[in-house]
Structure formats: structure tokens, C-alpha cells
Structure 1
Amino acid sequence: MIASLIRRDTLRGLRAAGLPVMFFLIAATLFPFAVGPDARVLTKAGGGMLWLAALLAALLPIERLVAPDIEAGVFDQFAARGIADEALAAAKIAAHWLSFGPTLMLAALPGAALLGLDESTLGKLEAGLAIGTPALAALGLTVAALTAGLRGGGALAGLVLLPLAIPLLIFGAGALDPDGAQALKLLASTALLLTFGAPFAAGAALRSHRD
């Protein structure tokens, strides 16, 4: 049943994946207009801007991650079968990442080309996104579970998630520097902590909606 939940949510997320990808590419396209055509400026700041765009793109699907299933009683049905809320949260995190993480990594290729990033910087960006996007998915699902059912839950979720994601943004952008190996290690440590801790926090939030 967990596998069916992952498959269902992944397919549902992929059907809506066009919006985050379009947002990501539009941000990459508009950035040169904001800072000017100077190639050195674009190369220096472009990687960090793509990280910021990835973070903001991860906000877009938050409202549909948990709230529709709570309203439909999906979690109640799983709970009646004895499936732990933490397992459901972990499954939904995996599905959320599968639906937006790889597509953002693919979108980073044309985004990097638009900003003139070299191959070395692109490689570090892709490595950072591969490490960091599971943590973004974990944060997104947890915040969605916490804010589900609240008035203006989508906007509130964004306000809650952005401060929590700041370490990922700092370390992800820092890893793009020539001496960014330490930042990449810090990114990996932070992402590991968030990814493995999120199912417990999200599971508790899901249980609270049944109390």
C-alpha cells in the first residue's frame, strides 16, 4: 500500500511539475535583465540565483501535498489498517521528491546555459541539488502537514518553510565556490538531518489532525 501511495503521488506530482519548472526557467531568463549582461556578474551570482529559484519553485505544490488527502480521509484509512503516520509521511516525501527533484535538476541545465555557468560550476550545482532537493521535499511535506486546514495555509506554509530552508540555500550556494568542498559537506549533513527527521515531525502533525 505504501508503494501504491508513492506511485499515485508521484504521478500526480509529475502532472503538475510543469509549473515549478517553468517558474525556475523564467527566473533564470529574467535574472540577466535584472543584473545586466556582464558575464562575470552572471557567472558569479548565477549559481546562487538558481538555488534560490529551486527553493521558491519547491513552494509551489505545497498546498496539494497533504490537505486534499486529509479532507478525503485517506490518512484515516491507512491508520485503520495499522500503517504508521511516519511511514506515510516518508512515502509522501519520497513521492514529492520524485515529482520535482529530478525535473529541477534537468531544468538546471538550460538554466545554467542561460547564465553562462561553466562545466565545473554546473557540476557542483547539480551535485548540490541532488543532495539538497530531498531535504526541500522533506521540509515541504512537513510544513504542509503542519499548516493543512488552516486559513491561508499556502501562504503560511511559505512563511514557515523559507526560514527553515535558509541553511540549505547558504550551503548550496557556498558549495559553488572554488573552495566549496566544506560547504558541500555541511549541505549534506543538513540535508541528511532534515530528510530523516521530517517523517517524525510530519507524522506527528498528521496525527494531530485526527485528534
Structure 2
Amino acid sequence: MSAPHTGQFCALLLRRQLLLAMRRPIEMGNPLLFFTMVIVLFPLGLGPAPDKLAIFAPGVLWITALLSNLLTSDAVFRSDFDDGSLEQLVLAPQPLFLSALAYILAHWLTTGLLLALVSPIFALMLNLPVSALGTLIVSLLLGTAVLSLLGGIGAALTVGLKRGGVLISLLILPLYMPVLIFGTAAVQAAVTGAPSGPYLAILGAMLSLAIALAPLAIAAGLRISIDA
């Protein structure tokens, strides 16, 4: 039986990761639960004044999305490393960086995409203007994809460690900061009526650069972790 070509292999790998995620609904729901808890508790600490909530809403939504993404980054390759599947993936004839991209796409579909889709509900709870909801969704779609790619680099480098979650935070958080800054700025610009297009364009450029370079870094990190 001949080996599947690269495109078919990556599609099967993506399907496998999505099926595994759906079989573990608790793990897939953890980021949404964390997102919900923070957004619900935030008004209790700051106060229910609508004006105050609207001022801080862009930053709160983006910081919560970032931390929700970070919570799941450690598990991207963990289960496959534990059962030996990751070693077989490294030895497969298909390019490892494309296989890694399939893993990251599955992670984004089960975390970042879901957060972006439910974000308008929580944004309205924080009194974010309706006019800014479109910018919020687009910025989260672009930004969380970048976060997943950057988080995959940390996950690949620490997958062989028993407690790699804290180390991922130390390695990846500095790289997250530009995404957080421009994502928040885009939403804030939409709130004030200023053009948000330049900030979204920068996020798009970050995503393009991350798609081009992050899979290569993830593949190199996986090889290092497997050989260690």
C-alpha cells in the first residue's frame, strides 16, 4: 500500500486531531470556561459602571483570550509524545513542518476560532459598542492564529519535559506581547471611531510571517525534543 501524498496526509492528520479533541470535550471547553469566568468576575472587581467597563473591555477581552490560548499550548503535542506517535511522525516521509502546521490548525480551530465566535457575547456584557464587534472578531481570528503558531514553538521545545507549562510561558509570553498590543489597539480604535484597518493589517502581516516561519521552528523543536 503506497503512502498518502503530503496533502492527503496532512488532511488526515487534521481530521484525527479534531476527532481527538471532540472526544475530550472537557479539555476543549477549558479555554471557553476560563474566558467566561474572567469576563464574569471582572465587573465584580472593577464595578458595574458601564463607562468603566467599556474603557477596559478591549484589553480585558484580549488578555483573557491570550491566557486561554496559553493554557492549552502545552497539550498540542503532549499526548502524541507520550504514546510514541510523535516519534513516528518525525520519521514519516512527509515534511514535518507541514504536519506540524496541521496540528496548529487543529489547535486554533478548537480554541482561537471558538473564542472569536463567542467573544461578541462577552463584549456586550462589558458594554463594548456594537460598532466595534466586527473589529473584535477579525482581530481575534487573526491574533489567536498567531498565538497558536507561537505557542506551538514553545510546545515543541518543551514537549519532552514533565512540567513544560511554566517554561512555555517564559519562552513565549514576550513574543505574545506585540499581538496583544496591536489586537487591543484595533478594538480600541473601533471603539473611539478611529480607523482600525492599519492595526488589522499589522496583525495580518504577523500571521503571514508566522505561517511562513513558525512551522519550520516547530519542526526543528520537535526533532530536538525527540533526539534529546
Same fold (TM over 0.5): yes
Report deviation, 1:114: 1.1
Query: Which amino acid letter does the alignment assign opposite residue 11 of structure 2?
Result: A
Partner deviation per Cα, 1:3-45 (whole Å, 9 max, x = no partner): 2211121233342221100111111111111222221121121
Whether 1:187 and 2:203 are equivalent positions in the alignment is yes
Q: Deviations over 1:60-95 (max 9, x none)?
A: 222221122123221332343312221111111111
- Distance in 2 separating the partners of 1:28 and 1:78: 39
1:174/1:100 CA distance change after superposition, 3 Å: same
Which residue, 198, 202, 207 being the options, matches 2:214? 198
Secondary structure of residue in 2 paired with 1:150: coil
Q: Report if the CA contact (8 A) 2:183-2:203 is conserved.
A: yes
Amino acid aligned to 2:41: L
Distance in 2 (CA, whole Å) between partners of 1:79 and 1:63 is 19
Quick one: which of 94, 99, 102 aligns to 2:110?
Answer: 99
1:103-144 deviation digits (Å, cap 9, x = unpaired):
101220221121011111111100101111111111121110
Q: Give the TM-score normalised by structure 1.
A: 0.93
The TM-score, its normalising length taken from structure 2, stands at: 0.86
Q: Count residues in correspondence.
A: 211
Q: 1:30 to 1:192 in 2, by over 3 A?
A: same
Aligned pair in 2 of structure 1 residues 40, 47: CA closer, same or farther (>3 Å)?
A: same
Number of the residue aligned with 1:5: 13
- Distance in 1, matches of 2:36 and 2:199, equals 25
Whole-Å Cα distance in 2 between the matches of residues 35 and 110 of structure 1? 19
Gaps of 5+ in 2: 1-8
Is 1:32 the counterpart of 2:6 in the alignment?
no
Runs of 4+ in structure 1 deviating by more than 3 angstroms, as ranges, are none
Structure ID, larger Rg: 2
What's 1:78 paired with?
89
Q: Choose between structure 1 and 2 for higher RCO, CA contacts under 8 A separated by at least 6 residues.
A: 1
Counterpart residue type for residue 83 of structure 2? A
Which segments of 5 or more consecutive residues in structure 1 lack a partner in the other structure?
A: none
Counterpart position of 2:133: 122
- Secondary structure of the structure 2 residue equivalent to 1:64: coil
Tell which deviates more after alignment, 122-131 or 181-190.
181-190
SS at match of 2:173: helix
Mapped contact 2:150–2:210 kept (Cα < 8 A): yes
| Residue matched to 1:145 | 156
Q: Is the 8 A contact 1:135 1:194 kept in 2?
A: yes
CA shift, 1:191, in A, is 2.3
Give the counterpart letter for 2:63 in structure 1: L
